[in-house]
Amino acid sequence: MRKQIDSIFVSLFFITCWIFFFYFYPYHLYYKEQITLCVLQPDFLQTYLQKPAFLTEICGDYLTQFFLWTGGGSSILTLTFMLTWLGFRIALLKTGISSHTSLWALLPIVAEWALSCHLEYPLSMSLGLMCSVWAFLLSILSTSTRTRGILHVIMLTILYCAVGAHFFAYVILVIVYECKHFNNYKLSFFLLLISLLIPIGGSYFYFLAPRQSYFYPLISGYMLRQPFVFLLTEGFLLLSLLPALIFRQCKQWIVLFAVLALGTITITKAYNAPEEKTLAFSSEAYFGHWNKVIRLNEDNPYPTYLSAYYTNLAYARQDKLCDELMLHYQPAFHGLLLQINESTGYIYAMASPDALMECGDMAQAQHSAMLAMTFTPHQRSSRMVRKLAEIAIINEDYSVAQKYLRMLSHTSLHRSWAKERLELIKSSQCDSIPYWTHKRRMLPQQDTLFSANQWRTSLANLIESNPQNKMAADYLLCFHLLNKDLQLFKKDYDRYYYPTFGSFPSRLYQEALIACMNEKENPQEQLKHYRISAKVYKDCLQYLSIYEDAKGDGRALEKLFGKTYWFYYYYAQLKP
């Protein structure tokens, strides 16, 4: 009965694990694929040999490609955890733990589950843990103490080169095994010392900082502020080995329940719902599911710059940017165009090219995509390579496009996408793709020198080259409105928007034009000139009446006018 209960609990554990990553955390797995790239070419694969964990890095990056499949990431992770658990179960039996071994073996898996929730915790780390435990089972087949000692030293060196940081799991298992069965404390101390010195030697061989050599392939300085957090798995492994030192059953159960509770808390703390929601917006836009982007924003409990950015872009693609701008969360101009600099994270940098491409600024989009590639932990991103290839095709720079497409043609996931475009280039049929030809018409006709993030200069240059570029015009005017710069709005409206699109101004523009009307000129003539409807003018008078009666108290205006530009202009607070 006890074994049946343990088996049921283990089965439920792994089923829950699959469900968690499939239903509650899929976009983290999708995004892990987007910030990795595995090109199956000899010169590319040789780069893995320049750093520790070459084996698990190659396998991990290759398998991570399939995270983009529906259920692929959750299945690969769960299978990896199951194989690791099986190895730990056998290892615990070898160390003398016979009671509830299956449950104790789950503890390191709980920690690895929690760590895998982090965007920058790669699959290669989990594969490294799996390799370490199975390597331990292989090394203890020898009955000779001397042979085992030599084998352990060789295995430690090989494991560090092949799996990286999680070779410490092997060290822990070996030390407990040698002390428990052979009282070989000298060998255990020697192996511990060797394990601490091997990364130092590796730092010189692999040109790593001494500190970095202990946690590679994790990369510090990005979102993962504490890369030594991987030792949580080793800590839980030590807890799972406690029954080898505690013999009374009651104490075993006390420790077991305490650690299981700790594991539950750990996974709960690791779950990052706001980040998952943010990555959902970015990923669905990457997949081209723009209607789903709009649905994601409905009742969004975690509004961010990125959610507003992609929601605005989705509406702009439908020519509804002005109609919907005031109906959802707006963090000033950050919801339209994303600033990219040396302190920008790669999540925002990878999103930045999307709006720029839609407006037609391929030069800025290319610059942002290259920076985003650089900002990723390993400077490899399948998403940015695809973006750069598409930008090069639109620019008719086919030699550059072919370089990126050939890289993708040697991947398992993006091969068909790349080969299809290579064939179009080879057969000179790129002009037959409506999206590319449309974007080419939006390209600026003259080069203008300006720095990154100078959006007014960029958008104005696009409109001057192509006055029919309504998306660029809307982005320019909405950029001014969200920054509450009515003076520039009026100037650019008269210069860029009114001559081409002024016949049917949106309500948003009508509200803004009323707010910046010239007091010295005849108001009726201005209303007629800008084609401001009687309904908007009547609402403005009502707004001013309530404003005066309430003495500026916005609560009296919010019900009727909370979604108007007037309310935004007077009550929204712009934060730096």
pLDDT digits (tens, 9 = 90+) for 97-148: 877 788 889 999 999 999 999 999 999 999 999 999 999 999 988 778 888 8
Contact 297, 311 (CB under 8 A): yes
Q: Is residue 472 part of a domain?
A: no
Q: Are residues 115 and 7 in the same domain?
A: yes
Contact 328, 297 (CB under 8 A): yes
Q: Which domain holds residue 84?
A: 2-270
Q: Is residue 295 part of a domain?
A: no
* Predicted pLDDT at 246: 64
Question: Is residue 452's pLDDT more than 50?
Answer: yes
* Predicted pLDDT at 165: 94
Structure-model confidence comparison of residues 124 and 342, the more confident one: 124
Contact 218, 152 (CB under 8 A): no
Q: Is residue 45 part of a domain?
A: yes
Rounded distance, CA 543 to CA 540, Å? 5
The rounded percent of the chain whose pLDDT value lies above 70 is 95
Last residue of a domain, one of 401, 419, 442: 442
Last residue of a domain, one of 409, 442, 475: 442
Rounded to the nearest 10 degrees, what angle do helices 382-394 and 415-426 cross at?
Answer: 20
For the chain, give the longest Cα–Cα distance: 102
Q: Is residue 106 part of a domain?
A: yes
Q: Is residue 471 part of a domain?
A: no
Last residue of a domain, one of 387, 414, 442: 442
Number of domains within the chain: 3
Rounded distance, CA 166 to CA 53, Å? 9
Q: Is residue 78 part of a domain?
A: yes
Q: Are residues 99 and 245 in the same domain?
A: yes
**Nearest residue to 72 (alpha-carbon basis) of 10, 37, 30, 133:** 30
**What is the full DSSP assignment across 35-92?**
T-----SHHHHHGGGGSS-HHHHHHHHHHHGGGGSTTHHHHHHHHHHHHHHHHHHHHH
Q: Are residues 239 and 356 in the same domain?
A: no
Q: How confident is the model at residue 326 (pLDDT cuts 50, 70, 90)?
A: very high
**Nearest residue to 188 (alpha-carbon basis) of 164, 156, 141, 163:** 156
Q: Are residues 246 and 345 in the same domain?
A: no
Mean pLDDT of 290-299: 93
Rounded distance, CA 23 to CA 339, Å? 32
* Predicted pLDDT at 256: 62
Q: Is residue 484 part of a domain?
A: no
| Amino acid at site 515 | A
From the CB of residue 556, how many other CB atoms can be counted at a distance below 10 Å?
A: 14
Question: Left if phi > 0, otherwise alpha if psi is -120 to 50, otherwise beta: which for 379?
Answer: left
* Predicted pLDDT at 167: 95
Q: Are residues 244 and 352 in the same domain?
A: no
Q: How confident is the model at residue 472 (pLDDT cuts 50, 70, 90)?
A: very high
Q: Are residues 368 and 244 in the same domain?
A: no
The rounded percent of the chain whose pLDDT value lies above 90 is 64
Question: Is residue 248's pLDDT more than 70?
Answer: no
Question: Is residue 427's pLDDT more than 50?
Answer: yes
Q: How confident is the model at residue 225 (pLDDT cuts 50, 70, 90)?
A: confident
Q: Is residue 289 part of a domain?
A: no
Q: Are residues 342 and 251 in the same domain?
A: no
From the CB of residue 150, how many other CB atoms can be counted at a distance below 10 Å?
A: 12
Rounded to the nearest 10 degrees, what angle do helices 167-182 and 231-240 cross at?
Answer: 20
